[in-house]
Amino acid sequence: MVTVLISGANKGIGRALAEKYLARPDTTVLATVRNPDSKEAKSLLSAPTGAGSRALLLKVESTSDTDALEAIKSAQSNSVDAIDIVIANAGVYTPRAYQPVAEVSLTHLKEHLDINTLGPVRLFQAAFPLLKKSKTPKFILISSIVGTIANLEQIPFPNGAYGGSKAGANFFAKKIHCENPDIISIAIHPGGVKTEAGNEAARAVGFDESFVEVEDSVNAIINKVDGLTRENGSGVFWGIDDTIIPW
């Protein structure tokens, strides 16, 4: 049995990842959502499943310091004693924060940092005891190419709030790799995906919509996760085209 924890699993990339993993046999998907009682979230429970697979809906608000901890307790009460893969997918992109650093609202900046940077840390800390019980624990941060610092000059957009929050999250993904020799940890850029947030970001820079189909992005992410080992791929910021993005 493989257990996968996916945050932000009610829509977009998170939803597609949850459905893909559920379709595999002998897989438990711990799907975290803000509102488990919503119609959108509950519909995940009726998604097609492989033999022996199941989904558990868990309430996690990314800004909460306690939700992820309570979610792990709930999972344990449902016979989950180890987590093999944590996919930190939940995030926020606010078009109103699409401004240069000199002008961006500190309220919007704090919101992005709280959700996009601290949210994955909260998730990792809560899941850590069960990750350590896996034979091949993996922590996967769904990041963004706008979080690269080395190539910042090549991304001349006023997205300091979003980009800065992703750069911060990238640091923690790399730090987890450095501090835990038994854990595989990466950041991965999913591409400019045709999700609600992805299309908003595309419109902000003059396009009608993003470029990458959700299914193509998710298939590439899962293929990368499947092939990761500690010696081959951990501690790297990956693109879905298998290129390495400079931190």
Residue 143 bears catalytic tag: yes
Residue 132 bears catalytic tag: no
Roughly how many angstroms between the first and final C-alpha of the chain, as a whole number?
34
What is the rounded distance in angstroms from the CA atom of residue 214 to the CA atom of residue 155? 23
What is the rounded distance in angstroms from the CA atom of residue 10 to the CA atom of residue 57? 10
Place of tokens 């034979």: 135
Residue 185 bears catalytic tag: no
Q: Which of 98, 144, 165, 166 is catalytic?
A: 166
Alpha-helical segments (H) within the chain: 12-22, 39-42, 67-77, 106-112, 119-131, 160-179, 196-204, 214-227
Q: Which of 21, 144, 162, 165 is catalytic?
A: 162
| Residue 206 dihedral angles phi and psi, to the nearest 5° | 100, 10
Q: Which of 134, 143, 144, 217 is catalytic?
A: 143
2: three-class secondary structure by DSSP: strand
| Residue 143 dihedral angles phi and psi, to the nearest 5° | -105, -150
- Pair 19, 49: CB distance under 8 Å: no
Instruction: Give me 188's structure tokens.
Output: 């991965």
Q: Which residues are catalytic?
A: 143, 162, 166
